[in-house]
Amino acid sequence: MRILQEIQDYYENQGYSGDELRKVLEKDKEYQKLLNKRKEKLRKEFSITKAEQRKYVMSRDADYEILSKVKKLEKLNLTKEDKSVLKLIRTQLEYDWRKYLIQELNKILRKYKL
């Protein structure tokens, strides 16, 4: 059985990159089957809910690790500042993560009256 990287390398060697590569990989049934199997394994390993998997991009193994650690920390009695940092970290896993950065930057600008 081929691995995800081998399939991606094949298409890259065919000249695909960027959005074209993403589209061709979305149509590759073997790639999608392997990808879904990998995502399910990681979801179980890091105790990620299906709702969280739909909400967040989760395109790298590190994304699962980040969310898992955030969830562990959220169970603790954290300071207001630490809770705020964890909230911002969660937003970085979302598809439209820039929106949240802009909101936080705007809060800081208002705080300093800029």
**pLDDT truncated to tens, each residue of the chain (114 aa)?**
568 889 999 999 999 998 899 899 999 999 999 988 988 899 899 999 989 988 998 888 899 999 999 999 999 999 999 999 999 999 999 988 899 999 999 999 999 988
Are 31 and 57 a contacting pair, CB within 8 Å?
A: no
Are 54 and 41 in a shared domain?
no
Range 26-30, long-range pairs (CB < 8 A, 24+ positions): 30/2
28 and 56 share one domain: no
Q: Does 57 share its domain with 107?
A: yes
Residue 23 pLDDT = 93
Considering the domain architecture, whether residues 33 and 67 belong to the same structural domain is answered as no
What range does the domain containing 63 cover?
A: 50-114
What's the confidence (pLDDT) of residue 1? Answer: 52
**Do residue 25 and residue 41 come from a single domain?**
yes
- Alpha-carbon distance of 94 to 55, in angstroms, equals 6
Task: Report if pTM > 0.75.
Answer: no
Answer yes or no: do 20 and 69 share one domain.
no
Q: Are residues 63 and 41 in the same domain?
A: no
23/63 same-domain check: no
